Amino acid sequence: MKRTAQPNARPSFRLLALLALLATLTLAAALTLTSCSSSPKENVAGDAAPAPGAESGGGLADSEADVPVDMADAVRKIIKTYDVNSETKAYDDAISSLHTLVIDCGGYVESSSTSDSSLTGAADASGRYAHYTIRIPAERAEEFVGSVGTLLHVTSSSSSAEDVSETYYSIEARLEELQAERDSLMDILNATETKQDYSLWLTVSQRLSEVRQQIAVYQGQLNRYDGQVAYSTVRLSIREVLDYTAAANGSFGSRLGSAFVKGLRGFWYGLQDVLVWFVGALPVLVLMAAAAVAIILIVRRIRRRHRHGQ
């Protein structure tokens, strides 16, 4: 019996592999054409001129961070603040000496608040109180705080320093950019005829107004930083006392003696307060006593009449 020859299976596998390769190449070409057709649109959008004000940013917060600043050779901008709490037994003299010291150091009093409560001998033995915010040239701030310690009894003090160099120079760089943009806009505005191109003239004018406003804001920030750096801030509190507060780390004997003296003084002033109250209430007490005597006499007279009538 004659057997029919089986066709070889290899050509079919090769054909399938070739078809798969052709399909892959076709898909890759289609993807390439699609990306190329979409890329011009992106370029057109990217090349479009920004609206006035878009390049520099409408706000002020993000523009500072966009300006790189080289801090290698920059002078550091440090804002120093001092807080001092103090006491005095001679309140009037201390206040007068303080004002003289401020003037001698080239500073000034920025703000102050005082209380005129009298020193009476209460448990806390405190009287008048004053709080000052003083501005002193930075190079003499340490000298001023040290001199305060000779005029007053300082109970606590602290100081802090804030480095604003990076923020300061970033604002300064941004300000220079805005000033250059302002000058360019002024040149364009001067070269533009209002009647011929009113649209361009209006656009440049609006942008120029925005730039001028931003320049004013940034210049104000720099001026404020310059003032805070040049003049340190000293917040000083003064309290009138009969006895200075004992140090927390003082000896046991000194603390015990201070507490005993304070207790005696509190008792003495308390006794004085009672005496003052009694003298002030004496007229009322006399009237009350006279009224009581009159009532007693009237009651006795009524009883006597009642007895004689019986």
- Same domain membership, residue 94 and residue 139: yes
Q: Is the pLDDT of residue 150 over 50?
A: yes
Specify which of 131-145, 191-205, 233-247 reaches the highest per-range mean pLDDT: 131-145
The structure tokens listed for 186 are 């002024």
Mean pLDDT, rounded, for 90-118: 92
pLDDT greater at residue 211 or residue 116 = 211
Mean pLDDT, rounded, for 80-102: 95
What is the tally of structural domains in the chain?
2
Q: Is 304 domain-assigned?
A: no
Q: Is 62 domain-assigned?
A: no
Q: Is 266 domain-assigned?
A: yes
What is the model's pLDDT at position 120? 57
- Same domain membership, residue 237 and residue 140: yes
- Same domain membership, residue 153 and residue 99: yes
- Same domain membership, residue 107 and residue 149: yes
Find the CATH number of the domain harbouring 107: 3.30.70
On whether the pTM is more than 0.85, the answer is no
Burial of 269 (0-12, 13-18, 19+ CB in 10 A): middle
Q: Is 30 domain-assigned?
A: no
- Same domain membership, residue 288 and residue 142: no
Specify which of 74-88, 236-250, 259-273 reaches the highest per-range mean pLDDT: 74-88
Q: What is the mean pLDDT of the chain?
A: 77
Residue 101 domain boundaries: 78-163+232-241
Helix (H) or strand (E) holding 237: strand 231-241
- Same domain membership, residue 256 and residue 116: no
Q: Is the pLDDT of residue 14 over 60?
A: no
Q: Is 143 domain-assigned?
A: yes
What is the model's pLDDT at position 232? 97
- Same domain membership, residue 237 and residue 115: yes
What is the model's pLDDT at position 8? 45
- Same domain membership, residue 106 and residue 236: yes
C-alpha count within 13 angstroms, C-beta hemisphere, residue 221: 19
- Same domain membership, residue 236 and residue 112: yes
Q: Is the pLDDT of residue 308 over 80?
A: no
Q: Is 104 domain-assigned?
A: yes
Evaluate whether 221 touches 167 at the Cβ level (below 8 Å): no
Evaluate whether 244 touches 93 at the Cβ level (below 8 Å): no
pLDDT greater at residue 49 or residue 122 = 122
Please state, as a whole number, how many other Cβ atoms lie within 10 Å of the Cβ of residue 277: 10
Q: Is 68 domain-assigned?
A: no
- Same domain membership, residue 237 and residue 288: no
- Same domain membership, residue 237 and residue 137: yes
Q: Is 277 domain-assigned?
A: yes
Query: If pLDDT is split at 50, 70 and 90, which confidence band does 161 have?
Result: very high
Q: Is the pLDDT of residue 87 over 90?
A: yes
pLDDT digits (tens, 9 = 90+) for 163-210: 999 999 999 999 999 999 999 999 998 888 776 788 888 899 999 999
- Same domain membership, residue 237 and residue 89: yes
